[in-house]
Amino acid sequence: MKRLVNALILFAGLGCKADSGHDPDMVHGFDNIEPSANLTWTPCFDDFTCSRLEVPLDYSNTTLGTTSIAFIKLAGKNATADSPSLLFIDGGPGGSGVDFLLTYRTVVGQILGEQYNFVSFDPRGVNNSGLGIDCFSGNAEARSAFNRLHRTGVTNISSTSLEEQYYSSSIYGEWCNDVVKNDSPHGYYVTTPAVAHDLLTFIEAEAELAGRPPSDAKLWAYGVSYGTVTGTTFASMFPDRIGRMVLDGVLNAEQYYENDPRDNVDKMDEAMEKFSSFCHSAGPEKCSFWGPTPAEIMARVDSIIHQLQNHPVPISGAESRALPALVTYSDLKALFINTIYTPVASFPAMADILHQFERGNVSALAGLFHGSDITSDARLIIQCADSYRRNKLTTIGEFESFVEYTVSKSKYIGDIYPIFLETILCRSFWPQLPDSMVVQDPRIGLNGPTSFPILFASNTIDPITPLISAREMSSRFPGSVLLLQEAVGHTVVDQGGSNCYFGHVQAYLQGIVPPSNTTCSQQYIPFIDSPIF
């Protein structure tokens, strides 16, 4: 859910610096594109076209004015003007779809078929789109002070840590509320239902541009992680507008809107334990933390946990004149939760870090916990605006109950997950939103089928959006099916999927719906295979 892929930003940055000398109309940023109520595509980033689509701030009161949504398009090698547009909905909330498509520009056609126009976007409040706000108004000192006060380590690290995190959480919402009140009166108009309506506006504008009736427009989409909430929300609001919809790494949307994501911890320990079995199977040449049995490997992991739980390790930095640091139990837990997102890419790195720890070198752990400090606000603003009428995490008793639940469900991740997710920060948000901006029906789903069946997809062990959430959401959309990929990690696409998986997805896009619970065998093995993305 909370996935900030630095590689995406780096790659997107590289893509922005290409030579534009061959086309004087080429742009490499959205600031040079005029917003328009009509879908107007401008050549951008060398291989793409871009648009800033003007949409109403509030669809129930268009007199309030408009904001703009940044869209980016890449034509498949065999695409034509009549080819469907397949829209990628990134995760987060707060993920940039523009960066997503810039990053995956070389592989989307290979894995999904070259006959489509690939489109993505930055939702309201994100990156290149309108309504983005900085809760601390550029005051880096104030933001840093808040992080120091609030982010005290794993939530049960001390007898006072939970209380400190709960009471300090009110500071964040008060800063955000003040900025909205004084500088950005519609800064909270960034909810997922509003984004779903923006997508309807997009497909209708695209249809009109192509000379087709806007009322016949259908959404073709591939959503990941939080993007599946956008997908299920769109399907609930506009069930007759589904052309194709693949939802990969499925969040329980009802728990998301209630700010009570209990399902999310269901498979975290299973993912951690898979580290030991993959390491053992790979052998000592592939896994530096190898041991004679998986149980022995996990016993050594447990030993490191207990060492840091009782004795943080100082790094003086004196010899190299570097800044001093203190490696803590919270740093180790941050390593665990960041690693389980992408095991094919990250299990070998974690093995190396643990191997070095056993030999007295702890430097790779230094600063990992504070590396996830809050540096931007889009994710929390969207999440808190989405949940403010249904928030089940407001009192200290509710926070204690949530922490107790996560700790009881996950030995390895449960104590860091509450401060990693930061849902407690929503308790002091007070967005004043019209009914059109929020989910009216407490139950996301439908009594009847969508215009084309939704394809829900999940890894068998997804530690962030577990399989139980995919099954639950599929059960709420009659006619939908579930496609399973044997793999560990968050979202099928980020673990590389398999030829089987992408074969079924391509067939689905062509109108062939697989039998529900079709399962593809694992193709990419941690420690053995390199990540393909």
Q: What confidence score (pLDDT) does residue 1 get?
A: 52
- Segment 139-151 shows an average pLDDT of 97
Q: Is the pLDDT of residue 16 over 80?
A: no
Q: What confidence score (pLDDT) does residue 205 get?
A: 97
- Segment 209-215 shows an average pLDDT of 96
Tokens, residue 30: 């959205």
Element (H, E) at 73: strand 66-75
Q: What confidence score (pLDDT) does residue 317 get?
A: 80
Q: Is the pLDDT of residue 170 over 70?
A: yes
Q: How many helices (H) and strands (E) does the chain have?
A: 17, 12
Question: At a CB cut-off of 8 Å and minimum separation 6, what does 360 contact?
Answer: none
Question: What count of Cα atoms within 13 Å lies in the side-chain half-sphere of residue 347?
Answer: 29
Which of 44-58, 156-170, 278-292, 492-506 comes out lowest in average pLDDT? 156-170
What's the farthest any 2 CA atoms get from each other in the chain?
71
On the 0-12 / 13-18 / 19+ scale of CB atoms within 10 A, 72 is buried
Determine what percent of the chain is predicted with pLDDT higher than 70: 95
Q: What confidence score (pLDDT) does residue 22 get?
A: 57
- Segment 400-427 shows an average pLDDT of 96
Q: Is the pLDDT of residue 148 over 90?
A: yes
User: Do 122 and 128 meet the contact criterion of CB atoms below 8 Å apart?
Assistant: yes
- Segment 60-65 shows an average pLDDT of 96
Q: What confidence score (pLDDT) does residue 19 get?
A: 37
- Segment 235-247 shows an average pLDDT of 97
Q: Is the pLDDT of residue 512 over 70?
A: yes
Q: What confidence score (pLDDT) does residue 3 get?
A: 40
Q: What confidence score (pLDDT) does residue 397 get?
A: 96
Handedness of CA 201, 202, 207, 208 (dihedral sign): positive
Tokens, residue 384: 């808190």
Looking at residue 484, the DSSP 8-state letter turns out to be: E
Q: What confidence score (pLDDT) does residue 445 get?
A: 87
Q: What confidence score (pLDDT) does residue 334 get?
A: 98
Tokens, residue 452: 């084309």
Q: What confidence score (pLDDT) does residue 4 get?
A: 35
